[in-house]
Amino acid sequence: MVDIGGIITDMNRFKIFDYSFKLEKHYMRLADGKRTNVALKRGDAKVYLMGSKGKQARTTLQNALYIPTYPQDIFSVETATRNGRSVEFRQDNSDLVHKNGTKQALLLEHLQGEIKGKILVDIGSGPTIYQLLSAFEHFKEVIMTDYLEVNREELQKWLKNEPGKFDWSPYFEHVCKLEGKGEPWQNKEKRLRERVARVIPVDVHQPCPLGQELSNGSVDCLVSSFCLEACSPHLEAFQKALEHVVGLLKPHGHFLWIGALEESYYLAGEARLTVVPVTEEMVRKALGMAKCIIREFRTYSMSPSMKVGVDDVSGIFFVWAQKEAC
């Protein structure tokens, strides 16, 4: 862990926020002498340093400020050089030099915006859109999918802004607040409606889950939330379904996957639907077998207040994985 401080513009880079930070008391002084409180949060953020042998190491930038309106991340040389380290600046690259002489390249900017491309596909969308609210911004075309026609119809109703559609506006408002750009939520809503090109059938138990609609190896990024474990009868089918879905990705394509941990059922109205209970270890193993490299794996444990009797889920996993080259 390196105590180097700085400014980070992407909230997803933060591992933990310092809740004693008071936004209204924290001012930045601008070059013209004006004071402004543009820092929304403070916390520990992850950054990447590249060692001399080309090995990438993730480290922590402690007490970094979250300022989404800054055009780029800023690294505090003053804090970095406090403990006998120094910084060497060059035109194309800069190094953090440790007391023992080892050097690590500073990659603060290089890894930003890594997840982007032409086609984003959401696997097993259900009747919901919340899972796309941030990711869709980085792709030219979004494709939503579900096995059930009734769910695809519900999505179409929202996309066409028809009477009786579900009201997602509180979700848009919340995500706009989190993104911190001060954008009216209606703009994001309009953009998502324009960006969704198709709503198509999917069956993750088929080797080509999207059939003729989209061939394997053609997708830049996949999103999927609470689908594979909910629609697979057992662990082997879950593993196969994951492999089928990953097959849709281009080499190095990204997979943003959310799922339930240790869940065996959930209630949908009167119906009690069975789920394959999976642990973090099982999900990690399944991704390895599907030839994916895990870039980030986070879990969340359900608090007692969230256990309201509609399921027996113990937690949620959030994965960013990348398909291997071949």
Ligand X SMILES: C[S@@+](CC[C@H](N)C(=O)[O-])C[C@H]1O[C@@H](n2cnc3c(N)ncnc32)[C@H](O)[C@@H]1O
- Report the sign of the C-alpha dihedral through residues 316, 252, 196, 207, in that order: negative
Nearer to ligand X, 39 or 129 (CB): 129
Q: How far apart are the first and last CA of the chain?
A: 34
Nearer to ligand X, 45 or 231 (CB): 231
Q: How far is the CB of 205 from ligand X (least distance, A)?
A: 5
Which of 240, 231, 258, 261 has the alpha carbon at shortest distance from 318? 258
- Rule CB under 6 A: choose which of 137, 141, 173, 203 binds ligand X: 203
148 in contact with ligand X (CB under 6 A):
yes
Cα 50 to Cα 48: distance, rounded to the nearest angstrom: 7
Q: Which residues contact 51 (CB under 8 A, 6 or more apart)?
A: 57, 102, 103, 104, 105
Least distance to ligand X, CB of residue 211, Å: 12
What string marks each residue from 127 to 146 as x (binds ligand X by CB under 6 A) or -? -x--x--------------x
What residue number has its CB nearest to ligand X? Answer: 126
Which residue lies nearer to ligand X by CB, 46 or 205?
A: 205
How far is residue 64's CA from residue 129's CA, in Å, rounded to a whole number?
Answer: 32
Binding window for ligand X (CB under 6 A); candidates: 30-38, 60-68, 199-207, 283-291: 199-207
Tokens of 296: 């980030």
Neighbours of 268 (CB within 10 A): 10
Binding mask 153-192 for ligand X (x = CB under 6 A): ----------------------------------------
Query: Site mask, ligand X, residues 6-25, x = CB under 6 A?
Result: --------------------
With contacts defined by CB under 6 A, name the span among 11-19, 35-43, 178-186, 198-206 that binds ligand X. Answer: 198-206
Angle at 236 between CA 321 and CA 215, to 5 degrees: 55
Pick the stretch among 11-19, 185-193, 197-205, 287-295 that binds ligand X (CB under 6 A): 197-205
> How long is the chain?
326
Binds ligand X (CB under 6 A): choice among 5, 6, 43, 124:
124
Cβ distance to ligand X smaller for residue 13 or 240: 240
Nearest distance in Å: CB 143, ligand X: 13
Inter-residue contact 257 to 293 (CB < 8 Å): no
Site string for ligand X, 205-234 (x = CB under 6 A): x-------------------xxx--xx---
DSSP H stretches of helix in the chain: 77-80, 149-159, 169-179, 185-195, 228-231, 235-247, 280-289
Q: Which is nearer to ligand X, 63 or 134 (CB)?
A: 134
To ligand X, the closest distance from the beta carbon of 274 in angstroms equals 12
Instruction: Name residue 95's beta-bridge partners.
Output: 88, 105
Q: Among residues 230 and 290, whose Cβ is nearest to ligand X?
A: 230
Q: Of these, 14, 75, 136, 147, which contacts ligand X (CB under 6 A)?
A: 147
Give the number of C-alpha atoms closer than 13 A to the C-alpha of residue 101, restricted to the C-beta side. Answer: 0
- Give the number of other CB atoms < 10 A from CB of residue 285: 13
The minimum distance between CB 141 and ligand X, in angstroms, equals 19
Give the whole-angstrom CA distance, residue 31 versus residue 95: 27
Among 257, 280, 258, 274, which Cα is nearest to 311's?
Answer: 274
Question: Measured from the CB of residue 204, what is the shortest distance to ligand X in angstroms?
Answer: 4
Secondary structure of residue 227 in the 3-state scheme = coil
User: Which helix or strand (DSSP H or E) is residue 46 part of?
Assistant: strand 41-51
Give the interface with ligand X as residue ranges (CB under 6 A): 124-126, 128, 131, 146-148, 151, 202-205, 225-227, 230-231
